[in-house]
Structure 1
Amino acid sequence: MTDDRREDAETVAEIARKAERKEAAQRHGKRSVWFGLGMFGLVGWAVAVPTLAGVALGAWLDRAAPGAFSWTLALLLGGVALGCLNAWWWVSRESRGDD
């Protein structure tokens, strides 16, 4: 296959992918600004709740079983990490059909 034919085939494939994306977007309709705000809120809560739960549990453990390190700080970082994974899961779930 010559370079020109290969480039033509790649161009045709690119146009086909763009056409499929456009048709899928038209089928699903336009997402409103409320969808974006809702997703923004969902991501915020998905991070905030595990973070605050980690802080609360860590503060309780620091009072109940004081040690050489801070449970509050450790569980704060754990809650943020868990919250970020949670937010990533929600965003990837909602954008699954946006290929």
Structure 2
Amino acid sequence: MNNETDPSAADIVKRARRMKAARDNPGPSPLRGIGVFGMIGWSIAAPTVGGALLGLWLDRVAPRGFSWTIALLLGGLVLGILVAWNWIGKEGGRE
């Protein structure tokens, strides 16, 4: 046998260690990306919709010269973006 077709013991050990490391530390699941996408969406959508609904109620109960709906919708959007940004920062530091 020649050396090109016969792997040495060192090569076999190196491959075995690499395979064990891959088995012990699998990468993130593809479904995790979908979960992250959903979490970011909900963290932005929930405060935005909540602010809009609260604004609609305030427009009926306490009308002013400005629109409560638009003001609280934008406030909820900003709050949601800050929550999502903070969550992404924490998730990024985890890996």
TM-score greater than 0.5 by the shorter chain: yes
Unaligned ranges ≥5, structure 1: 1-25
4+ residue runs of structure 1 moved beyond 3 angstroms?
none
CA deviations 1:23-80 (Å, max 9, x no partner) are xxx9753111110000000000000000011001000000001110000000000000
Task: Name the CA distance, whole Å, in 2 between partners of 1:67 and 1:85.
Answer: 28
Question: Which of the residues 76, 84, 87 maps onto 1:87?
Answer: 84
Query: Please, what TM-score do these two structures have when normalized by structure 1?
Result: 0.69
Unaligned ranges ≥5, structure 2: 1-22
Q: Which residue of 1 aligns with 2:37?
A: 40
RMSD: 1.8
User: What percentage of aligned pairs have identical amino acids?
Assistant: 49
Query: Please, what TM-score do these two structures have when normalized by structure 2?
Result: 0.72
Looking at CA atoms only, which structure, 1 or 2, has the larger radius of gyration? Answer: 2
Give the 3 Å change call, closer, same or farther, for CA 78–27 of structure 1 in structure 2.
farther
Tell me the number of residue pairs that the alignment of Structure 1 and Structure 2 aligns: 74
